Structure 1
Amino acid sequence: MLRHKAYKFRLYPNIEQEILIAKTIGSSRFVYNHMLNAWNISYKETGKGLSYGKCSAMLPSMKKSEDTSWLKEVDSVALQSSIKDLAESFDRFFKKQTQFPKFKSKKNPVQSYTTKNTNNNLAIIGNKVKLPKLGLVSFSKSREVNGRILSATIRKNASGKFFVSLLCEEEIAELPKTNKSIGIDLGITDFAILSDGQRLDNHRFTAKMAQKLKREQRKLSKRALVAKQNGIHLSEAKNYQKQKRKVARLHEKVVNQRNDFLNKLSTVIIKNHDIICIEDLNTKGMLRNRKLAKSISDVSWSSFVTKLQYKADWYGREIIKVGKWFPSSQICSKCGHKDGKKSLEIREWTCPTCHSHHDRDINASINILNEGIRIRAL
């Protein structure tokens, strides 16, 4: 079946290409903000907003104007894509899926623009990627790109590194059936507890980096203070900017470690099981607990479930979500006896009816599996 799949690679542009990337990012941001402002003005004056077609029709006149003639220097498709992004943002807002679109800031740690494949202007040629206006750009080719390239997103991170994400349309075959099912109970001490008894370690990537981050962020604050005392704007303070990139690289390392762990774990689970039953956690509600918020953010349950879901769709697996109010920890997985609510301090207990001794987390994962199979049979 044809699926959309993204490939992300590190880019190594030369100085001229870096300048053009910065210009394209800035121009795309300018067009997005300009059209958002025009949209808001139109709504205030007429009670109606604009459309993608109306905004797109404004671009040619902007390029001809002396004030904004510099828009001709960059990829025109990237500018059109920024208008498309704005129109889609309004669509999601009117469907009550997101908040009202906001103006983009150049202070955002991640800056990017998107361009589409027209007349084969996006291609992989040896160890270089062909991009509109940029030409051939060196990149780290860590794997082969399959299928037809649809679009490319060029991104500059706060660390100063450049990346390209290629969205491709390719044929992805379903995996052979394993006739196995698994229940997953997500936790903080252990990242996940499986119904077959496996415990998967929570590597606490942020916590392990916390001391180093704290030290480097203190240096950043001191350099900001020194720049302020010397009357230097932070954007022109070289020592501050150098330290800022160093802190950004540490944050980036944590994100990369976490993504690598989640991708590998989700792939193993998808490969080895046909049916995956998992609890539908109320992550947003749990993050309101200030004592656990940092730990919950570090484990990234939502990201893990998202990866499981799209990989299941690709490879013909089935994800069953059990309701968030299902008392998985309070039910005996052997006889079904439901006892009173147990506090989090109780990690092991014995069923008063069948006298089975349970590990709280493994018992919960078995109950999640049983409930998932029950829901599937309905």
Structure 2
Amino acid sequence: MIGSVQDVSSKHLIHQAYKYRVYPNTEQQQLIRRMFGCCRFVYNYFLGAWNLTYEKTGKGLSYHTCATQLPGLKAQYDWLKEVDSIALQSAARQVADSFDRFFKKQNQAPHFKSRKHPVQSYTTKFTNGNIAIEGSRLKLPKLGWMRFANSRKLEGRILSATVRQNASGKFFVSLVCEVEKAPLPQVEAHIGIDLGLKEYAVCSNGERYANPRYYRQEEKKLARWQRRLARRTPGGSNWKKAKQHIARIHERISNKRNDFLHQLTTKLIRENQTISIEHLRVANMIQNPKLSKSIADASWGEWVRQLTYKAVWYGRTLRVADTFEPTSQRCHVCGTIHPEVKNLSVREWTCVSCGTHHNRDENASYNIKKAAV
């Protein structure tokens, strides 16, 4: 869920996504898969046209150009008329948005979508009440009413809906709403947080949070099923069952990790007015062959992302210390730098200048609190 401030008053409007599991019947599932295919076709068609135009003229296609060609495309392929027209427009818009982000160096160049990809989705917009919730039923364009797990109260004005089928075969819908958020009451607390692998987070106020290592908990079970998958005939029914079982294990790991990260970031945001963290270059750190699996399991990037948008939502201040600041090596009492502490195996050390005995992570959290700007 990503928030963007649109008003400088005490309350501000943000875009918030609510994710629910949906239970479509057999006919609705067939229609959903048909819409996946049609949106994928439209996306690939305009991506190919965009690439061809760029090779010839040096310029790509705008969304307006793609949208004006869409009626002709539907006249050429009658089966495109059977699905949600707004979803097809969204697929054309995704091509233009993908290239905009590419030229801003925010992502790689767009590539063609495959029907073999384990995750399929399409997006539609709210218009004239075509998306609605009534108790435990959800209405979507072309699909009509279907049962869904109303696990969280929906707030605000619905803007769009994204229907997704994940690798385990489950269907979900993400409803993006315009919600009015009010800042939390101000508090005096200011903490520095040092992220790690031995312990997930060590705070300057003395709090410590254990690293749950959810991937490590499921690693043996995952390896066992991956060996079973490798022994089975690709494309066979038993191969598909093993593949789906592996997808469910990955889904369970992801759900546990996200739940942990949301609880931790929400707790930190509610209890502290100012939070200081260190800028971590996770993409570089994950290249370490000995630590890459543990770093990926920790999901530091997602933790920072959640902390960032929640600070915007609730009026908190997030400060970031420079990557190259020697937070672990510097004594937070006298400021003396000890290069030997750069070795990760050194967990405790004593400053030769002032004689203070330090715990590596606690000392780093104090320095992050001071150095963050």
For residues 313-352 of structure 1, the aligned pairs below 5 Å read 313-342=312-341, 343-352=343-352
Q: Counterpart of 2:18?
A: 7
Q: CA deviation at 1:96?
A: 2.2
Once residues 339 and 23 of structure 2 are traced to their aligned partners in structure 1, the CA distance between those partners, rounded to angstroms, is 60
3-state SS, counterpart of residue 345 of structure 2: coil
Matched with 2:186 is: 177
CA distance in 2, matches of 1:97, 1:8: 25
1:56 aligned onto 2:67? yes
Matching residue's letter, 2:54? Y
**Cα separation, 1, equivalents of 2:180 and 2:96:** 30
How far, CA to CA, are the matches of 2:231 and 2:338 in structure 1? 56
Which residue does 2:215 correspond to in 1?
A: 206
SS at match of 2:162: strand
- Per the alignment, residue 157 of structure 2 pairs with 148
Q: Is 1:298 equivalent to 2:309 in the alignment?
A: no
The answer to whether structure 1 residue 119 and structure 2 residue 128 are counterparts is: yes
Q: Secondary structure at the match of 2:187?
A: coil
Query: 2:49 aligns to what?
Result: 38
**Tell me, which stretches of 5 or more residues in structure 2 are unaligned?**
1-11
1:47 Cα deviation from its structure 2 partner: 2.8
47-56 vs 245-254, which moves further: 47-56
Q: 1:131 maps to what in 2?
A: 140
Q: Which amino acid in the other structure matches residue 167 of structure 2?
A: A
CA deviation string 1:307-327 (max 9, x = no partner): 000000000001101000000
Give how far 1:44 is off. 2.1
RMSD: 1.0
| Residues 20-99 of structure 1: pairs in structure 2 closer than 5 A | 20-65=31-76, 68-99=77-108
**Counterpart-to-counterpart distance in 2, 1:121 and 1:265:** 36
Q: Secondary structure at the match of 1:84?
A: helix
Q: Aligned partner of 2:132: which letter? A: A
SS in 2 for 1:129: strand
Match for residue 244 of structure 1?
243
Moved more, 106-115 or 303-312: 106-115
4+ residue runs of structure 1 moved beyond 6 angstroms?
none
* Contiguous gaps of at least 5 residues in structure 1: 228-233
Q: Secondary structure at the match of 1:163?
A: strand
Q: CA deviation at 1:63?
A: 1.3
What's 1:231 paired with?
none
In the other structure, the counterpart of 2:308 is: 309
Query: 167, 183, 206: which one pairs with 1:158?
Result: 167
Counting aligned pairs with the same residue, the percent is 52
Deviation for aligned residue 1:16:
0.6
Q: Distance in 1 between matches of 2:227 and 2:22?
A: 31
Distance (Å, rounded) in 2 between the aligned partners of 1:42 and 1:332: 59
Alignment partner, residue 108 of structure 1: 117
Q: CA deviation at 1:168?
A: 0.5
Alpha-carbon deviations, 1:15-49, whole Å to 9, x = none? 01100110111111110001011111122223322
* Alignment match, 1:230: none
